[in-house]
Every structure is written in C-alpha cells, then in structure tokens.
Structure 1
Amino acid sequence: MGIVRGDYNWPSQRKLLMEESLCIVSKTQIDINELPYLSRIYYNTDTSLKKLIDNWWQENYSHPPLITMKVDKMETCKEMVINGLGYAILPSILLNDNDNLFINKITSKDGVPIVRKTWMIFRKESLEISVIRAFVEFLENWK
C-alpha cells in the first residue's frame, strides 16, 4: 500500500485522495503572457510534477522559461517568491492567504485546471489484513 502524488501506472486498486491546483505565484501582479521573460525560481521536484509543469509550459509558450535561480525545495522557492526574487509554479497545497502573494491557477488551452492528484494505491488482497483494511477505510472516510 502507498500514497503517491501524480499519475503513475498502477495495475491494481487505487483511490483518489485529493487534487491540488498548480499556480503561478508572485509577489507582484504579473502578466501571464510575459512569463518567458520574467525571472522564474525553479525547485527540484518529482518527475510527475515536473512533467505536468513542463507540458503546460510547452502548450503555452514557444520560449523556455528564464530560470534565474534553482533551489532544492518548494518551501525555499516560496520564501524566495515572498521576498520578491521572481515567480514560481507551485502546488496550491503550499499556499495560504497569509502569504500576501498573487496566485493564478493554471489551466490548459481548453480552460481545464492543471492539477496534481494524490492517490492511495494498494492490492485488493492486502485488504485481508485488518490493519490495512482499517487504514484504507479511514482514508476513504477522511474526505
């Protein structure tokens, strides 16, 4: 059993736990059309989130992003945005109203929100173990 973020090929059972929007975050209001020319703060992340962001970028822009800083964590990236050092593309789970940031949820060209999904994955036969079954039921009812 596991909890994973992103869409992975899993041959057995899975249940969607949550979805989080991807957002362009900045200290000041910015024109989304100008993103390729603005300073972007990049953070190391998992392959599925990187692919989601990269696919969105390629769908919307013909120029690569102007990455002026690379950091190791999303939280570090957010702090740099708060301090006005550039913009970032972050999952909404990391953001709150007290950050005093401009937040734009990103969408596909068709207007569909770009989201990262969190899944609970498990094998059906593992539900025979009472602790696993209880945990799965807990997460199913948690919503």
Structure 2
Amino acid sequence: MKIDDYALLLKLNEVGTIRGTAKAILISQPAVTQRLKYIEEHFGQEIYIRTPKRLRLTPSGELILNHAKEVIEREQSIKNMLAESSKEVQGTLSIACSSLISQRFLPAILGEYTNTFPKVAIDLVTGISEDIKRNHKNYHVCIIRGEKLKESTCLRLFDDPLYIFDTEPFPEGKLKERPLVSFSSDDSMHELVDNWLYYHQDEIKPMKTITVDQIETCKQLMKQGLGMAVLPESVSGTMKEEYPHIPLMLEKEPVTRDTWVCFQEGVRKLPQVDRFINALTSQSFL
C-alpha cells in the first residue's frame, strides 16, 4: 500500500462518488475504480458499497478508513519534524485560498516564493471561503474573505472596498431601476450587498437578479449593458475610469470585504509555512 492509496480512500469518503473523486484528483474514473479494487483486494474486504447517490462505508471500511487517517497523519507528522529540523526550507506547503485571491494575487506571490524556495512542494486548493472554512484544519494556511476563522490565528491582509458599476449613470435624487448581475460567492458577500441595497432602496432598485458562477463573467455582462454589478476594488482595475460607479457606503463608512490569512497555532514552526506567511503579510495588495 502506498500513501497515495490511503489518500484516495480519504478523498473517496470526502467526495462520495468515484466520478467526483476522479475529477478532484485529475485522473480517469476507470483508474480510480481499479485502484479501489486493488486496495480492497489488499485488505480482503469490501470498503465501499456503491449506491445510486454516493459511496457508503462498510463496517470493515470504517476500520480501514480510520487506519488510513492515522497513516496520513503519521506521514505528515514526520515530514513536519524533518522540515523543522532541516536548515533548508523544504517540505510541503498546503494552502486553501479564496478563488478571487487565487486568480488576482496568488500566482505572482507563489511564483516568487517557489523561485526562492524551489524544494517546497505546493499543495493548493481554491474555492469559496465558506467551503474552505469547513475544512480549514486540513491545510497549513487558509486565505479567506469575509469573517475570520474562529479558534485560529488570523492576520488581516487587506480591506477591499465594494463599488456598484453600470454602463448607465447613477442619477442623484432619482430612483434607478436596473437588473443586478451577481456572481457566486459566500453568504457574507451577499449579505453585505443585500444590506446596502435595503438602506438605499429609494435610490437603487434591482428589477431582477442575474446570477453567474464567475466574477469575470459578471464583469463582462455588466460591460455589455445587461445590468449593474457590485464588484470589489481588487478586481475592478481600470473600470472606475471607464464606467459609471458609486462606492458602497453605510453611515459614511465604506462597505468592505476583509481578506485574512489564517493558520493553526504552532504551524509557523515549519519554515516553509513561516516564510509563506511572511511573504503574504509583506505584500501590498491594493
């Protein structure tokens, strides 16, 4: 049995389907099925029952999965100890990062980091902040938007002001009725926008909401005149020079999204993690 085989069992349990697991780890479904068959033959036990909706652990599977967790934890523990004792910065750096940050800022930061520390292996997962928060203990470092993580050390990286853009002007003293284009994000982002719209309902009234999956799609639909869009400054670029916009303000204060780097106590003892956190906190984002 290889470490990757134990990791596959954990991923199958997390995702729940062979198809979803294959997509997550970037190999074919037949390859996942074949590896699972090999693992079950190795232990001489059926680990998962295939049901129409998801894989279900057998009683033997539960024991084997607990064993897999212990093996992975011991492997990571020894890697951490070796990294701590080494004078050279090496080992694995696991990062979970908000999609927006991973698109806008992270490539340049990681490029410089890996040039400086080429022996560090990067394990990167991107997604919505709420999903990252649910599994934050699986990563050395989490870069999230909105509310910071509880029971973690969190350092604020930057505040990101929100603006509402349109191809049409925002007239003073007159109700503006237009569709609103929004992008998939965590609940805290939608709450900020809904709260602002509530307090400005005499000025701006969305006629309907068009929801898309990506922020870039949202920007392009706004640029084509399909409606208004609330966007953070970090992704607006030169849009403030090109399109009518107003800042989101409540009680004369800007409405912003905080961006945090969060990590568990003691993880900075790992040199590769400490150097990465230093790189993040010394960065100028806006």
Classify the TM-score, shorter chain. 0.7 to 0.9
Task: Write the distance in 1 (CA, Å) between the matches of 2:269 and 2:237.
Answer: 40
Q: How far apart are 1:9 and its partner, in Å?
A: 4.1
> What is the TM-score normalised by the length of structure 1?
0.86
Q: Corresponding residue for 2:272?
A: 131
> What is the TM-score normalised by the length of structure 2?
0.45
Q: How far apart are 1:121 and its partner, in Å?
A: 0.4
**Residue number among 167, 173, 182 corresponding to 1:42 in the alignment:** 182
Q: Corresponding residue for 2:259?
A: 118
What is the correspondence of 1:40-79 to structure 2 with a 5 Å cutoff? 40-61=180-201, 65-79=206-220
What SS does the corresponding residue of 1:38 show, helix, strand or coil?
strand
Higher strand content, 1 or 2:
1
The answer as to 2:164 corresponding to 1:24 is yes
What SS does the corresponding residue of 1:29 show, helix, strand or coil?
coil
Q: How far apart are 1:64 and its partner, in Å?
A: 6.5
Q: How far apart are 1:43 and its partner, in Å?
A: 2.3
Contact 1:10 1:121 in 2 (8 A): no
Contact 2:149 2:262 in 1 (8 A): no
Higher relative contact order at CA 8 Å, sep ≥6: structure 1 or structure 2?
1
Note closer, same or farther for the CA distance 1:116–1:30 as it changes in structure 2 (3 Å cut): same
> What amino acid sits opposite 2:245 in the alignment?
I
Aligned residues: 141
Contact 2:148 2:260 in 1 (8 A): no
Contact 2:175 2:205 in 1 (8 A): no
Which deviates the most, 66-75 or 115-124? 66-75
Q: How far apart are 1:7 and its partner, in Å?
A: 1.1
Structure 2 residues not aligned, in runs of 5+: 1-140
Higher helix content, 1 or 2:
2
Task: Write the distance in 1 (CA, Å) between the matches of 2:195 and 2:209.
Answer: 20
What is the correspondence of 1:95-114 to structure 2 with a 5 Å cutoff? 95-97=236-238, 100-108=242-250, 110-114=251-255
Q: How far apart are 1:68 and its partner, in Å?
A: 4.6
Task: Write the distance in 1 (CA, Å) between the matches of 2:233 and 2:149.
Answer: 24
What SS does the corresponding residue of 1:27 show, helix, strand or coil?
coil
| Cα RMSD, aligned residues only | 2.2
Could you list the per-position Cα deviations for residues 39-60 of structure 1 after superposition, in whole angstroms to 9, with x for gaps in the alignment? 2223222222112112222233
Q: How far apart are 1:34 and its partner, in Å?
A: 2.3
Which deviates the most, 3-12 or 121-130? 3-12
Structure 1 residues not aligned, in runs of 5+: none
Contact 1:42 1:67 in 2 (8 A): no
What SS does the corresponding residue of 1:65 show, helix, strand or coil?
strand
Task: Write the distance in 1 (CA, Å) between the matches of 2:265 and 2:245.
Answer: 40
Could you list the per-position Cα deviations for residues 55-76 of structure 1 after superposition, in whole angstroms to 9, with x for gaps in the alignment? 2222332796322522222211
Rg larger in structure:
2
